[in-house]
Amino acid sequence: MYSIVVENIYMLVIVTLISVLQNAFFALKVEKECRSVNPNPAAFERVSCANRNCMDSYPTFLAVMWCAGLCLSQAPASFAGVIYLVVRQKYFVGYMGQTSQSTPGYLFGKRVLFFLFLMCIVGIFNYLLVRFCSSDYKEYVETITSAASALLLLP
Amino acid sequence: MYSIVVENIYMLVIVTLISVLQNAFFALKVEKECRSVNPNPAAFERVSCANRNCMDSYPTFLAVMWCAGLCLSQAPASFAGVIYLVVRQKYFVGYMGQTSQSTPGYLFGKRVLFFLFLMCIVGIFNYLLVRFCSSDYKEYVETITSAASALLLLP
Amino acid sequence: MYSIVVENIYMLVIVTLISVLQNAFFALKVEKECRSVNPNPAAFERVSCANRNCMDSYPTFLAVMWCAGLCLSQAPASFAGVIYLVVRQKYFVGYMGQTSQSTPGYLFGKRVLFFLFLMCIVGIFNYLLVRFCSSDYKEYVETITSAASALLLLP
């Protein structure tokens, strides 16, 4: 039981661990600004808001990534997860930037989350097909998904 | 392995996907208010606060729903999840309402969360009974739970 | 399938349920301050901020605990989870305290989260060893982890 389970989730676990590291990085930035000897309310407000926006969407991201990984295939889901983390890093850094006066909006990583969402739907749909029509397209779907995940690299 | 796993969680995944859609709806409302050409601080404060309260309890909801689904039975857990989402939608809309001056409180969906919590406890208790007393009441418990979940429909 | 799954996660589920109870306790404190007849903005700000900081790190905690429990062993992970909950309770109470003028920082429970993080890495590493080198150190690792988790009790 043990190794079968880990075999099917280890990539997702690795991406989750990376995201936890990133959360810790964000939290350390907030902590540092919070305990700063020269308090700068504007900077604290900025970093705190960026952190909060990232944390607000974190459970959604985790839920969608794990569902996509469990229902369809872990490799594309983990790949999309890594891309989401890169987007989030850019968002956080962009939010704290001094040069840009206009802060980025509340949402980010919409495309990645949409891709993961589609993966979930395809996985569920495929399961229902297997159950009611006995026709399994899982292998084709996995291949297509892996190929499609490369599209996320487009800027 | 694959289809056994999906068979036991597909309803939970569907409810999770619906909740993700709802999160996206809430986030879009915040985004829209945030980028509005005629900024209205009171309205932004209202929608942002409603979104934050919903997001604060989101991980708790997901954790309880998945635990209840895994430990006991997925159908009543998903049903309770759907009801929670309806309650949350009402809460969010009520928070943004112009007519009501009194905002609803911080908590919502207590009854549904309590029901899911009870399901988890019953599931764990049943597992311990099976392990130590070799008496399995799972089928009875599932029937009772399915019937009891209908009580959540009471206003 | 059912009892095998529950056997491997029931401790994690119990810790999750305790954490949900604690969340409910925090939320009730906020609710009570929110609906207070003699509103005290400073107290509300304090309890709301404490609750928000706890909720911000809650998904991270859940993700790390579950990954550690699934990848390596559930007993040390649950034990660390219980210790995290105790630390969180202390943090929350300390945040609301009247006597201490200096609020605790944004972060808490770093040591416990770091321990769980290490458990995940060891679990993944062990899985990769089993897969590519066919050498399974899981039993030794579990014993060492169980012993090491006692170190978390040190103040």
* Contact flag C10-B71 (C-beta cutoff 8 Å): yes
Rounded distance, CA B5 to CA B23, Å? 26
pLDDT, position C100: 55
Taking only the tens place, the pLDDT of each residue in C63-122 is 999 999 988 888 899 999 999 999 999 888 888 776 555 667 778 888 899 999 999 998
What is the Cα gyration radius of chain C? Answer: 19
Contact in structure between C78 and C14 (CB atoms under 8 Å): yes
* Contact flag B6-A57 (C-beta cutoff 8 Å): no
> Considering only CB atoms, which chain C residues are within 8 Å of A16?
63-64, 67
Taking only the tens place, the pLDDT of each residue in B18-70 is 999 999 999 998 888 877 777 778 888 888 888 988 999 999 999 999 999 98
* Contact flag B106-C20 (C-beta cutoff 8 Å): no
Residue holding tokens 């899911």? B116
Which structure tokens are listed for C3? 């009892």
Closest partner CB to C70 (pick from A5, A17, A20) = A5
pLDDT, position C1: 55
> Considering only CB atoms, which chain C residues are within 8 Å of B124?
6, 10, 13-14, 17
Q: How many CB atoms are closer than 10 A to CB C6?
A: 20
B9 and chain C in contact, CB less than 8 A: no
Residue holding tokens 């990133």? A22
Rounded distance, CA C122 to CA C115, Å? 11
* pLDDT band per the 50, 70, 90 thresholds, residue A80: very high
> Considering only CB atoms, which chain C residues are within 8 Å of A7?
127, 131
To probe the interface with B, which of C4, C17, C64 has the most B CB atoms within 10 Å?
C17
Contact in structure between A107 and A60 (CB atoms under 8 Å): no
Taking only the tens place, the pLDDT of each residue in A4-17 is 778 888 899 999 99
* C62 Cα to chain B: minimum distance (Å): 8
Residue type, A123: G
Q: Which chain C residue's Cα is nearest to A10?
A: C124
Residues 68-97 of C with CB under 8 A from B: none
Q: Can you say whether the dihedral through the CA atoms of C66, C68, C69, C72 is positive or negative?
A: positive
* pLDDT band per the 50, 70, 90 thresholds, residue B132: confident
pLDDT, position B35: 78
> Considering only CB atoms, which chain B residues are within 8 Å of C14?
124
Q: CB under 8 Å to C145, separation ≥6 — which residues?
A: C72, C73, C76, C119, C122
Residue holding tokens 């007849």? C37
Q: What percent of chain A has pLDDT over 90?
A: 33
How many A/B residue pairs have CB atoms within 8 Å?
A: 67
Contact in structure between C120 and C78 (CB atoms under 8 Å): no
What is the Cα gyration radius of chain B? Answer: 19
Q: How many CB atoms are closer than 10 A to CB A91?
A: 19
What would the DSSP string read from start to end of C26-85?
HHHHHHHHHT-SS--HHHHHHHHHHHHHHHHHHHHHHHHHHHHHHHT-HHHHHHHHHHHH
Q: In the predicted model, is pLDDT for residue A133 greater than 90?
A: no
Closest partner CB to C30 (pick from B59, B106, B113) = B106
- Output the CA–CA distances (angstroms, integers) from residue A10 to A17, A116, B39, C66, in the order listed: 10, 18, 46, 13
B10 and chain A in contact, CB less than 8 A: yes
Residue holding tokens 């201490």? C100
Q: List the Cα angle B145/B148/B154 in 5-degree steps.
A: 150
pTM of the complete model: 0.89
Q: How many CB atoms are closer than 10 A to CB C67?
A: 26
Rounded distance, CA A122 to CA A145, Å? 9
Closest partner CB to C13 (pick from B56, B67, B130) = B67
Task: Provide mean pLDDT across the span A66-70.
Answer: 92
Residues 16-45 of A with CB under 8 A from B: none
Q: In the predicted model, is pLDDT for residue A131 greater than 60?
A: yes
B7 and chain A in contact, CB less than 8 A: yes
Tell me the Ramachandran region of residue A59: left when phi exceeds 0, alpha when psi lies from -120 to 50, beta otherwise: alpha
Closest partner CB to A106 (pick from B7, B20, B34) = B34
The larger pLDDT score, comparing residue B94 to residue B65, is at: B65
Task: Provide mean pLDDT across the span B96-124.
Answer: 80
* Contact flag C105-A31 (C-beta cutoff 8 Å): yes
> Considering only CB atoms, which chain A residues are within 8 Å of C71?
6, 10, 13
Contact in structure between C62 and B63 (CB atoms under 8 Å): yes
Closest partner CB to B1 (pick from A4, A63, A120) = A4
Q: In the predicted model, is pLDDT for residue A58 greater than 90?
A: yes
